Amino acid sequence: MQDCTNPEQQQLVEAARGFRDRLTEGYKRREVEKRIEPELIRDMGAQGLIAPELPAALGGRDMPRLVSGLIVEEIARGDFNAGYVQVVGSLVGQILASSASPETAEKYVPLITSGRGIVGIALSEPHAGSDAGNPRMTARRTDDGWVINGTKSLSFATQADAAVVFARTDPDAGRGRGISAFLIDFSAPGLRVEPVEDTGTKAVGRGLMHCEDVLVPHEHLIGPEGAGFTQVMKGFDFSRALIGLQCVGTAEQTVAETWEYVSHRDAFDKPLSSFQGVAFPLAEAETQLAAARLLCIHTLQLKDEGQRHTKQAAMSKWWAPKVAHDAILQCLLLHGQFGYRADKPLEQRLRDVLGLQIGDGTAQIMKLIISRESAGREYAP
């Protein structure tokens, strides 16, 4: 299947395919070190593999969003966590390019696209989880800028240079209202990062950012005051499809490796692949992954065409990570005791993919979005 529409697009996807081979060997090491090497991220940026859909004037490649998704899929086949560099880069880059002041966008978006730095996104808070529309983080306007107080959870907390955060600027507004977006540079006084230990995705360095009277310049307000929550919800319609392809790519690689394993390992004088109890689960996994992949691609095509894709994005986010997790688990079991070993990539992939059944929107939230989109917002629960 030819997903790209011209040679330039295909060349960029081929570059991602070649880049993924560099990632495989260091997958476990990055988990142990709990970081992705800055030089690796810079190389990704130099090859145009971070947020290539952004304008060339800001360091992007003016590519369709579909190309960004195909790049994520390829990179995630080598290292699931490296794929998240592209996902966050596209999400945050899109917000800054479309809504930040020209000066702020010109400074921070090229930082993202070149791989010279990471700008995270901090939406959820420890007390709330999925209830992102009711933040406790506050931002108070002063003559010198905005004073921000509160705590946020974010990925790449230990490696980020800055983060887009969402804070309440109108204490009297209702849920989902009176929330503004800000860019906080991690060099700002009063900001403290607390690493957290997760079950998986350790290389992305998730943590908590604690803000105590952090002063943010007026020009680092992103978009109109009070419009931050709406901005990020629109951005997630794009990144959810990328996350789906990130999970699918890792699972596709695992299924391919498992076919190779069962075809060359004998039991009862036959290759394992000759037994239906082994071959059929892999056939099912391939079918489900192919369907999930097409759903994600369709979502990105709708985005590129300027059509509404909120429902399809939510479908991609809840279903693709689940299908990927189920496929990787089945592959681990088919490897027997060898798949259960910690020096093999299967258990790490299983833990890593599991995290995206939680982060960036749980399945329950995604199903609520689908229900609202299908039934009509005025009738949905």
Angle, helices 310-334/345-355, rounded to nearest 10 degrees: 160
Contact (Cβ atoms closer than 8 angstroms) between residue 209 and residue 227: no
Contact (Cβ atoms closer than 8 angstroms) between residue 209 and residue 193: yes
Output the CA angle 209-364-71, nearest 5 degrees.
Answer: 65
pLDDT per residue over 42-82, tens digit each? Answer: 999 999 999 999 999 999 999 999 999 999 999 999 999 99
Tokens of 197: 């230990």
pTM: 0.93
Provide the percentage of residues in the chain whose pLDDT is more than 90: 77
Query: Minimal CA–CA distance to 254: which of 357, 335, 355?
Result: 335
Tokens of 368: 């609520």
Residue 380 has pLDDT above 80, yes or no: no
229-375: CATH, from 3.90.1150.10, 3.40.630.10, 3.40.50.2300, 1.20.140.10 = 1.20.140.10
Give phi and psi for 311, each to the nearest 5.
-65, -45
Q: Does the domain at residues 121-226 carry the CATH identifier 2.40.110.10?
A: yes
Domain with CATH 1.20.140.10 in the chain: 229-375
Domain with CATH 2.40.110.10 in the chain: 121-226
7-117: CATH, from 1.10.540.10, 3.40.50.11540, 3.40.640.10, 1.10.275.10 = 1.10.540.10
pLDDT per residue over 105-116, tens digit each? Answer: 999 999 999 999
Domain with CATH 1.10.540.10 in the chain: 7-117
pLDDT per residue over 252-295, tens digit each? Answer: 999 999 999 999 988 888 998 899 999 999 999 999 999 999 99
Q: Looking at residue 379, what is its pLDDT?
A: 42
Q: Looking at residue 127, what is its pLDDT?
A: 75
Computed over every residue of the chain, the mean pLDDT equals: 92
Q: Looking at residue 338, what is its pLDDT?
A: 86
